[in-house]
Structure 1
Amino acid sequence: MRAVIAAGRFHGLQLDVLDFTAEPGEQSPSPATLARWLNEQGAVAKGMRIEWRHLVRMRNSPPIVLMFRDGSAALMVNAEAERGVIWLRDPMADEAEPPVPVDEMRLSEIWSGDILLIKRRQDQSEIDAPINMAWLARMVLREKKSLRDITLSSLTLSVLQIFPPLAVMQVIDRVVNNHSMATLVSIAAIVLMLSFYEIVLSFGRRELTLILTTRIDARISLHLFNRLLALPLEYFEQQQAGNIIGRVMAIYKVRDFMTGRLMSTFLDMFTLVVVLPFLFYLSSTLAWMTVATAGMIGLIIAVFMRPVGRIYGKLVKAEAERSSVMYETVAGIRTVKTLALEPARKQEWDRRTADVVRWKLSVGRIANWPTTLTMPLEMFINRGIILVGAYLALTNASTVGVGALVAFMMLGGRVAAPLVGVARLLDDLNEVTTSLAEAGSVLNQPTETKALTEGMRPPIKGALSFTDVNFTYPGSTTKALNDVSFALPAGTMLGLVGRSGSGKSTITRLLQGVSRSYEGYLKLDGVDLREINLTHLRRSLGVVLQDNFLFRGTIRDNIAAGRPGLTIDDVVRAARLAGAEEFIERLPAGYETWIEEGSTNISGGQRQRLAIARALISDPKLMILDEATSALDPESEALVSANIERMGKGRTMIIVSHRLSSLVNCDQILVMEHGRVADIGSHEALLERCAIYRALWMQQNRHTERRSRVSRASEAECVATVAEGD
């Protein structure tokens, strides 16, 4: 891994070994696994096996990672073919040490033959390229070898398909008329041999086609999910989750088209290319009839494309809205059951289903017209042309013989099928175009790919500086932050308070890089936040929200979710620091306890402490707690608050809370009002000079003050009673 990181550093890539996840069962990462990881980190990497004679010619190339048999690696920094040596650098050694020359004999003792080529991606990556037909075509054309083999096998099969009709023609014209048994035996032997080859080739082509479509399907699925993950959080906050899922899944209709109808028609076209000239050889009149009739079918379908496509787009939209209702109902099933909302949700589902049924019926009815109009033409191709050929043969209007007519009948269907298939493709384009547009409306949104893969990766210590920071949410005319300025040294515990809408959560969003379109200067350890690599920034932060999501899986997996390279010891350390160890050890399976969907088998306080442990697993120097204790019961809140003071040692803490009592021990408390900084200081100082903070404190502690006044009055009364007695 050190060799890979060193090679990436040469290209300006700052890689973190803790971001790497090995494949299950791998003792040491393979070149393919490393290449996959590097491609995810913004590089272009390729693992390959190479011979010495090619390796030694790679002179003046960027550092190449050589994989050794024992799982280690080295960097090849140069080569001299004349001397027969390459120059290797030990990634564990100091960079000032010179590289070592190695010849073929010495290298062959340790080298596996595998290398890893790395370079920085300069052009537009596939994850940022627009999702359209050209993008999908490039995905398909990447399988050049499979496409070449399928093309060759299809051409061969097309040629072989000519011989059976030719044999039948010879049998009718020569064998039957001349009663030639020897000719029949010869033709039968040829037909059997060619049939055997056709069966074998057909099996091979189907296997190749299956591999091709499976690889395309996998590649589309991977890029689809990567693109979805690269979308900014702001987009997901503005859209319905069910609507997003419905639109994205529409791309699988395009996939089915490309790997189904389009692929089969593409393969049938080879039959058309080979067989159609032979049909013209048999009878140009009948061949022209076949081509003309297929052209009329295509014309009819083309006329109906626009109206069908317009109505089909409304059907896709209605289906997406219905899917959104389904998703919301399942996601909020606890609320639905608790408030007995089943009738209301059922009514909404029925209404959306009615819309889908109405538009589906409209699509079916309008699509029925071109199908009906093309049926006579298809019947003419399959049946009528043969009757015309028979008429021409009987009237001597054509030189077509009986054998040639039978051969034409056998081949005519094979030619008509791809011609009709091409026409039908036009009909399918409506569905494909609409589905692609729906998927593109989500997947073609601006992504965070550049911010996630590029930028500085400075060591984070936790010093913060806001200077005249202004921020306005998209679509809003009011500033969420207005000339916010304050500074914090590293290791400070800062409390953020203010009324709802004062800008507290906006500050935490900017710190997490959720929004980068702010004005002014926001610096972390003296570096502008927009210059820092977004992945590095978020992995250097520990964030705990009011309502934290735990994934289905074990407690261990959830705590180590962000850093899969860490060990169980790191998990236990984080759990102990978060105060979660005591309840985890009481569970029957301990850290291997399975958390159900929705975290229904653990309490809210336990879930919150697991979220804190997950945030602490990477030992962040900057932690953000956004209303992390507001939803907890008093006992759980007391536990978490006590742990917060212990966690804050040696790190900067930003704590957003409406409960001012939990912020009393903070080094500084920042008071926000209408997006501006009202005041900043300690609890005691703010009580004296900040009216807003004092008002908030009095509102939350009126009962305490009342009890204190009652207690003082009772005490005075007791003293007076004692005095009277004396």
Structure 2
Amino acid sequence: MTAKQTKKQASHLNRFYYPLDQQVEKPFNWKQMLRLLFYLKPYTKNLLPGAIIAMLVSTIIRLVVPILIGTWVIDKAIGESNVSLLTYLIITISVLYLLSYVANTLRIRWVNILGQRVIHDLRKGLFSHVQRLSHNFFDKRSAGSILVRILNDVNSLQELFTNGIINLLMDIIMLSGIIIILFVLSPPLALAVLIILPIMFFISTKMRRNIRRSWQNVRIQKSRMNSHLNESMQGIRITQSFSQEKENTEFFNGVNTDNYENERIAMKKSAYFGPFVEMSNAIGTVILISFGAHLILTDQIGIGVFVSFAFYLGMFWEPISRLGQIYNQLLVAMASSERIFEFLDEEPNVEEKKDAKVFKDMKGHIVFDKVQFSYNEDRVALHEISLEMKPGQTVALVGHTGSGKSTIANLISRFYDPTKGAVKIDGHDLRDMKLDSLRTNISVVLQDTFIFSGTIMENIRFGRPGASDQEVMEAAKVVGADEFISRLSNGYETEVEERGNILSAGERQLLSFARALLADPRILILDEATASIDTETEIKIQTALKKLLEGRTAIMIAHRLSTIREADNIIVLEHGRILEQGNHDTLMKQKGEYYELVKSQFDMLDAL
């Protein structure tokens, strides 16, 4: 595969896998920028006013000094040979420069602290908001693209908050002050020198949209590259198992090349502004020398005014050049803030009412009242099903893949809301209840259990952070996890590494059982929870499961039907509909769908 083909393949797959990361064509959004600046509000009583005052002091000093040098030092002190005035002016200018140094030092220190705190607040707010979003949000986005927005996009705003905002104010004040002073000193010379400004403004306006679009492309491509990196690292074992390292590397090279090209183009376009300002400075200097010399020779201005003009002209193009850089920062910030606010404006599909009630002493009586649910318009997952799960009952959900088993579990946890009908617990519609009070009473054990980086103790305690070490160890003993934990080098303090890599699949599952038991839920959902456990371990855990299920409403989703024989009620699903239900013996006597499923599994075992 050639580099061109690889790049083309990467671009095609990027469009296929990341449809939500598209370029946004919008004008510069000042409302959005004001919304971004709102994050400065907590610091308007200390850091921000201090930084602004320090900026004003240094800016005023810079505006005053050229007048002192031109009008007073050259025209008065030197022109009139006044030594005492010259000495006084030298001391005054020295003190002013010292004061400016102190003010600049304080300004830089305060704006850096301000910027870091704002970025901290923004990232904290974004992460907290994402944590509250519904599963539907994560279904549409890769983990890598979410990481990019929380890390890279927020980092892109750092320069704006640490330097950009204060520098923008400083440069606007500086330019305004210089223009006013120039017209006071000599209107004709001021008009001649500043004639280049309208042309410069026209060209920079033409460049604006193009540069902004380029920086949007950079953000989008970084998101795609990070998404691919995240998938590659998560799936490295599959990649190596199929010897696809070369193909994976080639694909990444294509994505990386796209990222390089987009960043190169954006930097190239942004870099045009600097040389353009330098050219404008050169033109202004030529006009100053030629027309200024004419005005001196015709006695319309003095040498001191000419020298002041030279100072101010040198100072004039510096903030204009910096404004170009700040504008680039604003473009980057706008591209990033669009993506950040897109997440912040995302509302959970599962909304909590303002007057939502709290579950008190939940019993675990679950009722599905003519529930219909669709993940999208083209796919109906449940067709107006009605069922009841009594408190303390163990209910098994069986059926082929896509029959609606996991959907029922997701609705009980209220990860999604029904399209029609209602899911009720203890007679309360879940849409009327607080999410925390619901989910703290539910524990979910998945087939692919997630183990966090940290110790064994910390992972089990995740089920109930306030639990004591003794309670954690007791939960592990009940589910049979203590046996393998005691064999580890550091016991409960053993570091399990990322995703529990040092543990076997069965050991990770035992930890998830201990975590669920420690949480002491009223409702327990086991979604293929024993699928990753070998037969020997499964036999050991059956006794622990009885202890785990005791006094709780349990929903068991299982393909391995031997694990649900003791269930109080077995619900057989097919394409989102209930075909039959009853206990094992009842369903076997009916010789319906459940009977056929059991028979097919035992036939397979006999064949082995």
TM-score class, shorter-chain normalisation, is 0.7 to 0.9
What corresponds to 2:593 in structure 1? Answer: 692
Contact 1:232–1:447, Cα closer than 8 Å, also in 2: yes
The residue identity in structure 2 corresponding to 1:686 is L
What corresponds to 1:723 in structure 2? Answer: none
Contact 1:579–1:639, Cα closer than 8 Å, also in 2: yes
Q: How far apart in 1 are the matches of 2:279 and 2:216?
A: 29
Give 1 or 2: higher helix fraction.
2
Range moving further from structure 2, 590-599 or 181-190:
181-190
Contact 2:225–2:255, Cα closer than 8 Å, also in 1: yes
Q: How far apart in 2 are the matches of 1:349 and 1:418?
A: 41
Say which of 177, 184, 192 aligns to 1:281: 184
Task: Tell which structure's C-alpha radius of gyration is larger.
Answer: 1
Q: How far apart in 2 are the matches of 1:504 and 1:155?
A: 66
Q: Measured at CA, do residues 216 and 453 of structure 1 come closer, stay the same or move farther in structure 2, by a change above 3 Å?
A: farther
What corresponds to 1:137 in structure 2? Answer: 37
The residue identity in structure 2 corresponding to 1:357 is Y
Residues 333-392 of structure 1, C-alpha deviations (whole Å, 9 max, x = no match): 2222222211111111122223233434444555565555544213234x3354145423
Q: How far apart in 1 are the matches of 2:324 and 2:74?
A: 35
Q: How far apart in 2 are the matches of 1:582 and 1:290?
A: 85
Q: How far apart in 2 are the matches of 1:287 and 1:554?
A: 71
Q: How far apart in 1 are the matches of 2:603 and 2:231?
A: 41
Structure 1 residue ranges without an equivalent (≥5)? 1-129, 708-726
Say which of 263, 280, 283 aligns to 1:380: 283
Range moving further from structure 2, 506-515 or 172-181:
172-181
Pairwise CA distance, 1:245? 2.6
Q: How far apart in 2 are the matches of 1:645 and 1:562?
A: 19
1:350 aligns with 2:245: no
Q: Measured at CA, do residues 364 and 215 of structure 1 come closer, stay the same or move farther in structure 2, by a change above 3 Å?
A: closer
What corresponds to 2:472 in structure 1? Answer: 571
Q: How far apart in 1 are the matches of 2:607 and 2:451?
A: 41
What corresponds to 1:237 in structure 2? Answer: 139
Q: How far apart in 2 are the matches of 1:279 and 1:394?
A: 16
Q: Measured at CA, do residues 396 and 672 of structure 1 come closer, stay the same or move farther in structure 2, by a change above 3 Å?
A: same
Pairwise CA distance, 1:590? 1.8
Matches within 5 A, 1:143-182: 143-145=43-45, 146-169=47-70, 170-182=72-84
Identity of aligned residues (%): 27
1:329 aligns with 2:232: yes
1:318 aligns with 2:218: no
What corresponds to 2:24 in structure 1? Answer: none
Residues 477-511 of structure 1, C-alpha deviations (whole Å, 9 max, x = no match): 4x211121111221111111111111111100101
Q: Measured at CA, do residues 345 and 219 of structure 1 come closer, stay the same or move farther in structure 2, by a change above 3 Å?
A: same
1:225 aligns with 2:127: yes
Pairwise CA distance, 1:288? 3.4
Pairwise CA distance, 1:177? 3.2
Q: Measured at CA, do residues 542 and 485 of structure 1 come closer, stay the same or move farther in structure 2, by a change above 3 Å?
A: same
Pairwise CA distance, 1:529? 1.4
Range moving further from structure 2, 366-375 or 667-676:
366-375
Pairwise CA distance, 1:439? 3.3
Structure 2 residue ranges without an equivalent (≥5)? 1-29
Residues 521-553 of structure 1, C-alpha deviations (whole Å, 9 max, x = no match): 211111111112112211211100000111111
What corresponds to 1:616 in structure 2? Answer: 517
The residue identity in structure 2 corresponding to 1:138 is F
Say which of 155, 160, 181 aligns to 1:252: 155
Matches within 5 A, 1:191-206: 191-206=93-108
Q: Measured at CA, do residues 453 and 329 of structure 1 come closer, stay the same or move farther in structure 2, by a change above 3 Å?
A: farther
What corresponds to 2:204 in structure 1? Answer: 301
- 3-state secondary structure, aligned to 2:309: helix
Contact 1:623–1:654, Cα closer than 8 Å, also in 2: yes
Q: Measured at CA, do residues 522 and 152 of structure 1 come closer, stay the same or move farther in structure 2, by a change above 3 Å?
A: same
RMSD of equivalent CA atoms? 2.6
The residue identity in structure 2 corresponding to 1:693 is Y
Q: How far apart in 2 are the matches of 1:449 and 1:299?
A: 49
Say which of 357, 363, 370 aligns to 1:468: 370
Matches within 5 A, 1:522-533: 522-533=423-434
1:681 aligns with 2:593: no
Pairwise CA distance, 1:301? 1.2
Contact 2:397–2:405, Cα closer than 8 Å, also in 1: yes
Contact 1:671–1:677, Cα closer than 8 Å, also in 2: yes
- 3-state secondary structure, aligned to 1:183: helix
Q: How far apart in 2 are the matches of 1:305 and 1:263?
A: 22
1:597 aligns with 2:498: yes
Contact 1:300–1:373, Cα closer than 8 Å, also in 2: no
What corresponds to 1:391 in structure 2? Answer: 293
What corresponds to 2:384 in structure 1? Answer: 483
The residue identity in structure 2 corresponding to 1:592 is E
Q: Measured at CA, do residues 217 and 360 of structure 1 come closer, stay the same or move farther in structure 2, by a change above 3 Å?
A: closer
What corresponds to 2:359 in structure 1? Answer: 458
Contact 2:568–2:583, Cα closer than 8 Å, also in 1: yes
Q: Measured at CA, do residues 448 and 595 of structure 1 come closer, stay the same or move farther in structure 2, by a change above 3 Å?
A: farther
Q: How far apart in 2 are the matches of 1:539 and 1:384?
A: 75
Pairwise CA distance, 1:292? 4.1
Q: Which structure has more RCO (C-alpha within 8 Å, separation ≥ 6)?
A: 2
Contact 1:466–1:522, Cα closer than 8 Å, also in 2: yes
Q: How far apart in 1 are the matches of 2:91 and 2:166?
A: 33
Q: How far apart in 1 are the matches of 2:272 and 2:62?
A: 34
- 3-state secondary structure, aligned to 1:132: helix
The residue identity in structure 1 corresponding to 2:209 is R
Residues 564-583 of structure 1, C-alpha deviations (whole Å, 9 max, x = no match): 22222321232223221222
Contact 1:298–1:426, Cα closer than 8 Å, also in 2: no
Pairwise CA distance, 1:628? 0.6
The residue identity in structure 1 corresponding to 2:34 is A
Say which of 545, 555, 574 aligns to 1:654: 555
Q: How far apart in 2 are the matches of 1:291 and 1:253?
A: 34
What corresponds to 1:416 in structure 2? Answer: 317
The residue identity in structure 1 corresponding to 2:136 is E
Query: TM-score normalised to the size of structure 2?
Result: 0.88
Q: Measured at CA, do residues 391 and 475 of structure 1 come closer, stay the same or move farther in structure 2, by a change above 3 Å?
A: farther
Contact 2:277–2:320, Cα closer than 8 Å, also in 1: no
Pairwise CA distance, 1:159? 2.3
Q: Measured at CA, do residues 611 and 452 of structure 1 come closer, stay the same or move farther in structure 2, by a change above 3 Å?
A: farther
Q: How far apart in 1 are the matches of 2:163 and 2:534?
A: 57
What corresponds to 1:514 in structure 2? Answer: 415
- 3-state secondary structure, aligned to 2:395: strand
Q: How far apart in 2 are the matches of 1:375 and 1:507?
A: 67
Residues 562-619 of structure 1, C-alpha deviations (whole Å, 9 max, x = no match): 4322222321232223221222223232221111113121111111111111122221
Q: Measured at CA, do residues 209 and 255 of structure 1 come closer, stay the same or move farther in structure 2, by a change above 3 Å?
A: closer
Q: How far apart in 1 are the matches of 2:60 and 2:298?
A: 30
Q: How far apart in 2 are the matches of 1:639 and 1:536?
A: 33
What corresponds to 1:445 in structure 2? Answer: 346
Residues 443-481 of structure 1, C-alpha deviations (whole Å, 9 max, x = no match): 43223685298622112221111121111112424x211
Q: How far apart in 2 are the matches of 1:605 and 1:452?
A: 40
Contact 2:118–2:161, Cα closer than 8 Å, also in 1: no
Q: How far apart in 2 are the matches of 1:539 and 1:269?
A: 54
Pairwise CA distance, 1:131? 10
- 3-state secondary structure, aligned to 1:574: helix
1:663 aligns with 2:556: no
